[in-house]
A and B are shown apart, each in its own frame.
Chain A
Amino acid sequence: MSNDDDLILKVRHLSKTFDKHVALRDVSFDLKRADTLGVVGESGSGKTTLARCILRAIDPDVGGTVEFNSEQIGWVSLSSLRHNELVPLRKEMQMVFQDPYSSLNPRMTVRQIIEEPLIIHHEGNSNERLERVREMLDLVQLSQDSLTRYPHAFSGGQRQRIGIARALILNPNLVVCDETVSALDVSVQAQIINLLEDLQKTLHLTYIFVAHDLAVVRHICNNVLVMHNGVVVERGDVDHVFDHPQRNYTKLLLSAIPSPDPDIRMDPKNRDILEQPEPVVNGYGLVEGPVWHGDHGLLFSDVIFGGVYAVNESKEVNPVFEHRRGIGGMAIHAEDGMVVSGKNVSFKRFGESESILLLDRDPDNGNVGYNDLTTDAAGRIYVGSLGSSPVFDDGLEPRAGNLYVIDLDGKSRVVAEDVQLTNGLGFSPNGRTLYHSDSRRGQIYRYEVGRNGDLKPREVFHEFETGAPDGLAVAEDGSIWVANAGAGGVAVLEPDGSQHAFISIPVPMCTSVCFGGSGLRTLYIVSGSNGVEGDRNGGVYRYEADVSGLPLTPARVQIPAP
């Protein structure tokens, strides 16, 4: 890419698991040279873990990458280097720590402390090194007679200057400051912030600035990552994020800052806005095909035991119609009915029992049935066929399925091939992109939509490390909400493929999602049973999302005369 030269860091899908605890989950971002990126979030949100993974002070989980634009050798993948290969690069990346007391060795003089990195990297002779140390003292505005003194003889702010001098003596390009000013009094804090800003200008430094003080971050950073439970929940221009927070967690965090103006009353938001999904109903084999209907409420099917049900906002369940098992996808049809997919794709009018065939099994293509479906803005139906697979125990050679479109005149055609296990489908807000889960490959594809609803060749949009992508829904802001089967929750992806949240449900088998409720702000999450087939503990959960879902156009394909 041509504008890569402006960047100093490209972080992709960085995760870190300690024992079984996921401290960092799929973090991706770019950092421009000479920018200051703030990282904020509560204690334990993963800020330090992120910083340490970037600098390879600890090894991130396999799969994540950190690319660094080295001044010496250009782009290099930090995450795949061996530790000894990292050594020469360490000069370009340095860290300044929070605690000016414990991060300096009390038995070393200030000269020894600041000089040590030069010795480690075999730079200069004794005189040259002393000269550099003297320059650094000037740079951080410490007097030259500090050289022979020990850390205990300095105030907190002065010790922090010693730490900064040590970090900068190797002429790094990237400096990670982990809570560097947090322990300091405001006046000292102001001096250090000013110093960091001055040094940035003269030395062309890039900062990653980890801090829990949001006012400090707003003051010195251009961009910010907001972290919660190891996930970047929101990112962007710091002023924009702070003035127009989108995510509930960011709103909670910002609302908790006590303003120094007594006329601006603090109105902290209640933590309840972060609450876990609430159980709605339970007792089904495997819930699938959720779709919102203004009158009926949430419609869903039970793949194992059959039947289509509606649950309203008071959690009352009504059967909508009987149906044999195996409905994997549903959509509303404009003619007061539904399109359901299973062994075939058919139309059912509300209140009537008859099924009208729209798309039959396709033996030529070897498929055994259909799964998720969705509609585009014109009312066409997109539906994926299931190839034969060991999952279905049909004794056939495994074979991939296809993606079909049913046009308004009722005719169907294949628009994409080679789908191992077709699942969730959803269009972007402008309708020009179709997202499509392939559960077996663990990938979400991204198709550009051409004229007449044709699809261009796909690319892989996102790959899941744990569990598989299942049903999905798209929100107004373009974010993609994907049921992560096996991982027990919903991954929220940005249009650039990065994940910014993970909403957990108490069972691993999360099968699909859809937006509903007033303003389409409720995310309905459906699940399958934990155990073997025959269990009845699949159900429906709901969660107050911080965005509205995209409304789905009812299908308008022609219904053949019965």
Chain B
Amino acid sequence: MMTDNILEIRNLGVRFQTDTGVTNALNDVNFDVPRGKVTAIVGESGSGKSVTANCIMRLLQPPGKIVSGSIQFNPSRTEPFDIVAIRDRDPRIYELHGGLISMVFQEPMTALSPVHRVGNQVSEAILCHRDVSKEGAMAEARDMLRRVGIPNIDTRIEMYPFEFSGGMRQRVVIAMALVCNPEVLICDEPTTALDVTIQAEILTLIKDLQAELSNSIIFITHDIGIVAQIADYVVVMYQGRVLEIGTVRQVLKDPLHPYTKGLLAAIPGNVPKNVRLSTIATAVGDADITTPFPLKSVGDGRLVSLP
């Protein structure tokens, strides 16, 4: 039987050992990614969002090392497996990268080649992973580029990424990430480098595609506004730990953890004008947010790291 969660992350620990010392980037991270939903991971810089994503993609680079835990992956196309446990040469890694999970990064040029035409790059992504003819791949590429809202496909596919605006490039990256119909799409701050108007277009695009293709999406951001608009579920991270998990309305409308409350109180858009912004430190006050209390269930499916 398929479970309702496409990913189940348990007790994940990651450590970076460098000349200057040891960083415990992730400590006992636990959360589920429900199938066909958008799960947002939100937290400040350095809280471990990207490291978590890299673990799921098996992209964690030395000196980073997974020191504990498991990532149970329950795809519908193949047998479930633990992403942490499989060895580097395991063919399932190839399947993972070959279309089961795709990733969209903040800076679109990290995913695009500057010297190849856009149409070729997208069709190449199809050819790499699937057994189709060149013509078939190009036809699919055009179709996907049209779906992500690239205008004048005929001329655009002949162009190079530098001839595209930032928003257009990110659309191309999303098209490349989606051509293999991934079961999980991980978006790591995909709109942070974009103007707010372009960001709105990309968020709308991701939402519309998700409704149509019902992929499971992990959306990483530090912007509460984006979380509110795109997520079904929210995972709040702080210093490599998960502090709170719930539905978007539970977490944003009725936060339970003092840190989450502080985070929300620090957003200018949430505070009436002329009222001083509270910093997280003042909002948290005496509450203990550094002791790693295990997540406990507090009803309605909510989890929170409190004593």
Contact = CB atoms under 8 A, between A and B. Distances in A.
Nearest to B274: A219
Contacts of A212: 195-196
Contacts of B270: 260
A534 interface: no
Nearest to B234: A262
A465 to B, nearest CB: 29
A222 to B, nearest CB: 10
Nearest to A214: B196
Given A191-B279, A265-B229, A260 B267 contact: yes
A254 to B, nearest CB: 9
Interface string A330-350: 000000000000000000000
Nearest to A41: B195
A272 to B, nearest CB: 12
B277 A190 contact: yes
A268 B207 CA distance: 13
Chain B contact surface mostly: helix
Given A185-B44, A194-B276, A266-B229, A259 B196 contact: no
Interface centre among A186, A216, A268, A271 (most CB of B within 10 A): A186
Nearest to B272: A219
Interface centre among A156, A194, A212 (most CB of B within 10 A): A194
Contacts of A190: 266, 268, 277-280
Interface string A159-187: 00000000000000000000000000111
A189 B266 contact: yes
B223 A258 contact: yes
A262 B222 CA distance: 16
A396 interface: no
B196 A215 contact: no
A261 B222 CA distance: 15
B266 A187 contact: yes
Interface string B248-274: 110011000000001110111111010
B200 A256 contact: yes
Contacts, number: 110
Contacts of A213: 268
B228 A259 contact: yes
A193 interface: yes
A252 interface: yes
Contacts of A194: 276-277, 279
B17 interface: no
A253 interface: yes
Interface string B278-305: 1111000000000000000000000000
B76 interface: no
A260 B264 contact: yes
Contacts of B223: 258
B263 A258 contact: no
A42 B201 contact: no
A202 to B, nearest CB: 15
A255 interface: yes
Contacts of B273: 218-219, 239
Contacts of A191: 279
A43 interface: yes
Contacts of B277: 190, 193-194, 219
Interface in A224-270: 239, 252-253, 255-266, 268
Given A239-B273, A262-B228, A262-B249, A268 B204 contact: yes
Nearest to B46: A185
Contacts of B278: 190
Contacts of B227: 260
A256 B280 contact: no
Nearest to B269: A215
A186 B267 contact: yes
Contacts of A197: 276
Contact of A260 (B222, B228, B262): B228
Nearest to B275: A219
A266 B269 contact: no
A258 B203 contact: yes
B185 to A, nearest CB: 19
B57 interface: no
Nearest to A197: B276
A190 B271 CA distance: 11
A496 to B, nearest CB: 26
Contacts of B228: 258-262, 264
Contacts of A189: 266
A191 B282 CA distance: 10
Contacts of B133: none
A305 to B, nearest CB: 36
20 contacts: A42-B195, A185-B222, A186-B263, A190-B266, A190-B268, A190-B277, A191-B279, A193-B277, A194-B279, A215-B225, A218-B268, A218-B269, A239-B273, A255-B200, A258-B199, A259-B225, A260-B225, A260-B264, A265-B229, A271-B197
Given A187-B262, A262-B228, A266-B203, 10 more contacts: A43-B195, A186-B266, A215-B269, A220-B268, A258-B199, A258-B200, A258-B203, A258-B226, A262-B229, A271-B197
Interface of A: 42-43, 156, 185-187, 189-191, 193-194, 197, 212-216, 218-220, 239, 252-253, 255-266, 268, 271
CB-based closest 7 A-B pairs = A258-B225, A215-B269, A268-B200, A219-B268, A256-B200, A187-B280, A190-B277
